[in-house]
Amino acid sequence: MRYFLGLLFLFAQALPSMAQKKPNVGNEIKFAQTQTDQMLLEIRGITGSPEKVSPRTIENGKLKMVVSRDWTSGFFPGVLWYLYDYTKDPKWLAEAKSFTAKLEKEQYNTGTHDLGFMIYCSFGNGYRLTGDKAYKDVIVQAAKSLSTRFNPKTGVIRSWDHNRDKWEYPVIIDNMMNLELLFEATRFSGDSSFYKIAVTHADNTLRNHFRPDYSSFHVVDYSPEDGSVRSRVTHQGYSDESAWARGQAWGLYGYIICYRETKDPRYLEQAKNIAKFIFSHPNLPKDLIPYWDFNDPSIPNTSRDASAAAITASALYELAGYTKSKDYVKKADAILGSLSRGYKSPLKGNAGFILQHSTGHRPAKSEIDVPINYADYYYVEALLRSKKAR
């Protein structure tokens, strides 16, 4: 009996280190393939909505498809490209090409700031893996469309066109993620205007979006006449002064992109400080999967956001490469371990989504504790990045 109790004690002592263990990437990609096969079956079983081209989430127990202009439309094609990247299976190449093609017209969309998500996650990965010049041309045209939303007086790219009674020139922290498209377009075209817009936007966001503790507001509203800040709010978070979890992840990832493309040390320092805020926050759970907002007073009785965790993990692997810090790798490994053990969909369940337990827009009672396509995208991206981050 004493021997048995001793074994139990040793097992309990080992639990913390076991919890940090990264999942087996090969096994997780196999699971992702099984889920994606199921997703394709679900999509093909939907009739009557040919304009809806990409799966987004589960709504009322059913798969929700969205049109190409939806901000999330590029994530599922991106997952398909990542599966092809890992497996080199021509089946995934064919599916990735098919779903990517459905978004081609969005290269001309000047009514959204989300062209980075829509076009770069799809066509960007497609070009990286195939070298297809037609994909390059789409990326450059999309960058031209995105650039029309830049106002030299504000020095930032306008995010939303809606709620004009509330905001004059709203810019959200998510917009940092769309700068990658502009950087790539300068490489492809030789036109430095895209690069300059991206850097100007990043600099003004760094100046105006962050609090002294390096947490971020969600929305900064500018005056289009003189570029002054009219207000700072957190539209999708608990309150204006709270730290909306996915917003912190977007900021972290976005400034890592900016450092990659410019080697400006200010951007690297910003990313490190955002990471410090996230991982030193007293409300971050032990499994490192954040609640939807770090300051929700209902914690722990509120929803998590697996998407914020997946975005953070992927960002940390790249950050580790620039800082040579194994701590970032360990944290990213731990996040992936937690996601793989406690946040995956049931096998062939949830219409084929890979992860569950994400939160989209809780204040609007939208997409609470559900699978969401961008969680899947950044989870698979993080798995692939983890293979190189050692």
pLDDT band, very low/low/confident/very high, at 9 (cuts 50, 70, 90) = very low
Would you list the domain boundaries of the chain?
22-386
Give the integer Cα–Cα distance in Å for 69 and 77. 14
pLDDT band, very low/low/confident/very high, at 82 (cuts 50, 70, 90) = very high
pLDDT band, very low/low/confident/very high, at 159 (cuts 50, 70, 90) = very high
Secondary structure of 107-152 as H, E, C letters: HHCCCCCCHHHHHHHHHHHHHHHHCCHHHHHHHHHHHHHHHCCEEC
- Strand segments, DSSP code E, in the chain are 52-59, 62-67, 150-151, 156-157, 170-172, 219-222, 229-233, 358-361, 366-370
pLDDT band, very low/low/confident/very high, at 20 (cuts 50, 70, 90) = low
Give the integer Cα–Cα distance in Å for 173 and 54. 24
Q: Residues annotated as binding site?
A: 114, 174, 234, 246, 250
Pick from 140, 25, 32: nearest CA to 78: 32
Region 84-94: mean pLDDT is 98
Give the integer Cα–Cα distance in Å for 78 and 96. 7
Q: Which residues are catalytic?
A: 114, 174
The predicted structure's pLDDT at residue 390: 65
Q: Give the model confidence (pLDDT) of 245-285 as tens digits.
A: 999 999 999 999 999 999 999 999 999 999 999 999 999 99
- The SS3 assignment for 220 reads strand
Give the integer Cα–Cα distance in Å for 209 and 215. 9
CATH topology of domain 22-386: Glycosyltransferase (1.50.10)
The predicted structure's pLDDT at residue 389: 79
- The SS3 assignment for 224 reads coil
The two tokens of residue 20 are 């940090």
What is the separation, in whole angstroms, between the first and last Cα of the chain? 42
pLDDT of residue 360 exceeding 60, the answer is: yes
In the chain, what percentage of residues exceed pLDDT 70? 95
Q: What is the mean pLDDT of the chain?
A: 94
pLDDT of residue 140 exceeding 50, the answer is: yes
Q: Give the model confidence (pLDDT) of 171-184 as tens digits.
A: 999 999 999 999 99
pLDDT band, very low/low/confident/very high, at 6 (cuts 50, 70, 90) = very low
CA angle 69, 75, 81 (to 5 degrees): 125
Q: Residues annotated as binding site for substrate?
A: 114, 174, 234, 246, 250
Residue 375 in contact with residue 62, Cβ under 8 Å? no
The predicted structure's pLDDT at residue 26: 97
The predicted structure's pLDDT at residue 7: 35
The two tokens of residue 375 are 């969680």
Pick from 20, 118, 128, 132: nearest CA to 84: 128
Q: Give the model confidence (pLDDT) of 47-74 as tens digits.
A: 788 899 999 999 999 999 999 999 999 9
Residues 6+ apart with CB under 8 A from 20: 330, 333, 334, 337
CA quadruple 115, 118, 120, 121: dihedral sign = positive
Region 278-298: mean pLDDT is 98
pLDDT of residue 381 exceeding 50, the answer is: yes
Residue 270 in contact with residue 255, Cβ under 8 Å? yes
pLDDT band, very low/low/confident/very high, at 162 (cuts 50, 70, 90) = confident
**Torsion angle in degrees (nearest 10) through CA of 182, 188, 192, 193:** -50
Region 336-357: mean pLDDT is 98
Q: What is the pTM of this model?
A: 0.94
In the chain, what percentage of residues exceed pLDDT 90? 91
Question: Residues in the chain, how many?
Answer: 390
